[in-house]
Amino acid sequence: MFKTVAVIGATGAVGSIIRELLEKRNFKAEKFRFLASKRNAGTKLTFQGKEYTVEELTLDCFQGVDLVIASTPDDVARDYLPAAAEAGAIVIDESGYWRMDPKVALVIPEINPQDALNAKWLIASPNCSTTQMAVALKPLHDLSPVKRVIVSTYQATSGAGLQGTTDLVDGTKSFLAGEKYDYKVFKHPVAFNLIPQIGGPKEAGYTSEEMKMVYETRKILGDDSILVNATCVRVPVANCHSETITVETAEPISPEQAVEAWKKFPGITVIDDLAAGQYPLPSTSDGSDEVFIGRVRKDLTSPNGLSFWCVSDNLRKGAATNAVQIAELLSKHRG
């Protein structure tokens, strides 16, 4: 059990869910502290029946803390988390800043728990779109090594933070009223629209979000030979990311074999009855910690190909839940 646990970004969208999960799952610690930016410091919140005052995040605020769960922008993670490590804390980081550092573990507990247990000081939690895909790929990779993945994502506005969802709601109201809306997060209207760019430009015309799916998937699955071709699209859905995934494996995997493997794997639920119109939807996946899979079928263009549909709550398994599961894993092995 950890003595003192600090949650950074405790008042944000993901931080609020981290607090909810720590309380709901009865995470044990002698003391909890909640940290945020100067703007949000002083906020009152209730946790496990006790009122807390949110403290300001500073470089010297980590004395006596032995576990940090951080949900912050990349620059905050870069500037502050090393100070937590220097103070002796183990850090679980939700940002993208440290993920591809070769000295940092990138962990999904259902896939590579040992990497977390062997981590030196910081454990990174993957990008939300990567997480649900990697969870879906792992049981297939265990049956026959994954060689190539083609993925298109349909990503909810909550992935852009609280303002992203505000943009969707207020932009939709303005559209229906025939009024102009000044979007704060998105470069283009997201209401009644699709935006085929998430993140900034990277190599060969791909975006940073797309390249995260390439590099993070390889690191999590421990196989740099896996080819990943990603297209990431922002869609007018408030929460839960959806993905169409086509995977080629070394040997053929039938839909029946895949479903059997998924059903045995922790954290995956299969909903797949096309005739009855039953498959995962963002509206029915919202608020769940599971990765949902449906529309499972053979790829008609490849003898070793399999196609499926995957939905998951990007704020939960894609972020908060994965971080709390890492914390639970570490706590369990501390005795």
Q: Are 153 and 132 in contact (CB under 8 A)?
A: no
* Contacts of 327 by beta carbon, 8 Å cutoff, 6+ apart: 2, 5, 22, 27, 67, 69, 92
Residue 36 three-state SS: strand
| Cβ burial, residue 26 (10 Å; 0-12/13-18/19+) | exposed
User: Is 128 labeled as catalytic in the residue annotation?
Assistant: yes
Which tokens hold the place of 230? 């990603």
The SS3 assignment for 31 reads: strand
Spatial contact of 106 and 215, defined as CB atoms under 8 Å apart: no
305 within 8 A of 298, measured Cβ to Cβ: yes
Q: Write down the catalytic residue from 61, 232, 241, 310.
A: 241
Active site (annotated) includes residue 310: no
Q: One of 128, 232, 240, 310 is an active-site residue; which one?
A: 128
Query: Cα dihedral sign for 65, 68, 71, 74?
Result: positive
Q: Where are the alpha helices (DSSP H) in the chain?
A: 13-24, 74-86, 113-117, 128-143, 162-176, 208-221, 255-264, 282-285, 321-332
Strands of the sheet containing 90-93, edge to edge, are 55-56, 29-36, 2-8, 67-70, 90-93, 122-124, 105-106
Catalytic residue list? 128, 241
